[in-house]
Amino acid sequence: MKKFPKITHLGKALADGDVNRDNTYRVTVKMDGANSSVRVDEDGLRVFSRGRNLAFIGREAGNIQIWDSFRGLSEYVLMRQNEFLALPTKSHVFGEWLVHHSLPYPAEMYQEMYVFDPEWVVDFGLTVRTCEVLGILPGKADLVAEADKLMREYVARTVFGAEGVVLAPLPTYPNSYRFKHMHEKFIEQHKKAWSPTKVFLGAIETALAGFYSVRSYQKVCQKIVDDKNGEKLTTRDTPQVLGRCKNDFYEEHFAGAIKKLGYPVIDTKKLNNELDNRVRDLFITEMTSGHLPVYAEAELRRTA
């Protein structure tokens, strides 16, 4: 089963004859987030971002493996595991994990999964958000013109704009072709933002720090506990946790992360500040989740 549905540009798909004109298409807002999906298997949930396997949340209590927090997505699904596990086996929920990219959404919209198909909310009661539905178009319509009209009407009534729109055939199937129609201003901004020779929107250091995964953090914490002969962590250990996590990042992760971002120019001081923020966020998340038993009970009560 695919980890994310193929989404091709509408104009190209029409030119190549890949659009079924007998279908009806639902048009939704294309959020400027990160591709995300949750698959329901017989043994539990698997969390993905495109082809990356982020986490496994088993049906058996305590059977949890988080390899990459992906800026909170894995923990978000973990908090809703009972809802996702109640879905039919082989269900595959696709959407956008909204984190800071290019468009300036209101703060309350971030750290939420926006699913493409509202049926997951309407029919199954998932407490996730949905990409806004702008309209339904018959396949025989001038799809580019009509989709463009719906997109511009949406942009005109919002303060943050839109990346574009997505057209999905009805009824929807998770692995069926979907088509996107992009806003020209977003395309222009996106090309500039992701230039490998420039710092995009001042977020290079934040992006680099985001490569430090929850799994790496867990390993460092466990090593510190081992060094303390099993004595669990408290807030007094924060400086040591910060220092060792930063050393671990530079020794094990920095080279690969900087390569993936195209070797941009970075501000080392800002990167260290972002790493501090990242490790503190992981510290809070791990203590409140309770699935890494290396913290003293007093610390767990303090964060409850």
Looking at residue 267, the DSSP 8-state letter turns out to be: -
pTM attached to this predicted model: 0.60
All CATH 3.30.470 domain ranges of the chain, comma separated, are: 7-190
* Residue-averaged pLDDT of the chain: 81
CB 294 within 8 A of CB 232: yes
According to the model, what pLDDT value does residue 289 have? 57
For residue 196, pLDDT beyond 50: no
pLDDT in tens, 3-48: 556 788 898 889 989 888 998 999 999 988 888 999 999 999 999 9
Predicted confidence at residue 296, as pLDDT, reads 57
- Lowest mean pLDDT: which of 96-110, 145-159, 179-193, 262-276? 179-193
**Predicted local confidence at residue 84, as pLDDT:** 96
**pLDDT at res. 287:** 64
Q: Give the type of residue at 303.
A: T
pLDDT band at 156 (very low <50, low <70, confident <90, very high): confident
pLDDT, one tens digit per residue, over 71-126 is 889 999 999 999 999 999 999 999 999 887 777 778 788 889 999 889 999 999 99
**Is the backbone peptide bond immediately before 171 cis, with ω within 30 degrees of 0?**
yes
Strand-by-strand arrangement of the 24-30 sheet: 7-9, 178-182, 164-170, 24-30, 133-138
Is the domain spanning 7-190 CATH 3.40.50? The answer is no
CB–CB of 143/108 below 8 Å?
A: no
Average pLDDT over residues 267-287: 81
Report the C-alpha gap between 153 and 137 in whole angstroms: 15
For 240-262, what is the mean pLDDT? 84
User: Exposure pattern of 31-56 as b/e (b: 16+ CB <10 Å)?
Assistant: bbbbbbbbbbeeebbbbbbeeeebbb
